[in-house]
Amino acid sequence: MKKFPEFMTRPTNKVPMQQQNTPDIQGYYYTAADGSQMAFWTCMADRISKEHQHDYDEYMVCLSGEYVVTINGKETILHAGDELFIPKETLQGGRCKAGTRTIHAFGGRRIV
């Protein structure tokens, strides 16, 4: 697949631009009954994700493309099928190549 199915990218679930750590990406999210969330991101161009931290754990999987995650200054390169667990309060950032698609599960509320 080259893109997420239409039901996953409904306009009502779009991540507001001001809540994205990476400019010019498309993000959509879902919130679970306990308040945890999942987000589906598509990087439309080569971009850098600013450094940030969360007060909850994060899990991510790369579906396509390449995402270089920086955790506490150390880079990890993710390709299709690669997974990564990021403990809460970890300084993270990174960069993605155009066409990269990732899924993130957050142990808390990431998008308000």
Is 71 buried (19+), middle (13-18) or exposed (0-12) by CB count in 10 A?
A: middle
Cβ count within 10 A of residue 26: 16
Q: Can you give the pLDDT at residue 59?
A: 98
**pLDDT, tens only, 36-75:** 999 999 999 999 998 999 999 999 999 999 999 999 889 9
Mean pLDDT over residues 79-106, rounded?
97
Amino acid residing at 35: G
Phi, psi of 70 (to 5 degrees): -110, 120
Domains of the chain as residue ranges with CATH: 21-106 (2.60.120.10)
* Residue percentage of the chain with pLDDT more than 90: 86
What does the alpha-carbon distance between residue 80 and residue 102 come to, in Å, rounded to a whole number? Answer: 9
Nearest Cα residue to 70 out of 100, 90, 88: 90
Residue 24 has pLDDT above 90, yes or no: no
Q: Can you give the pLDDT at residue 9?
A: 96
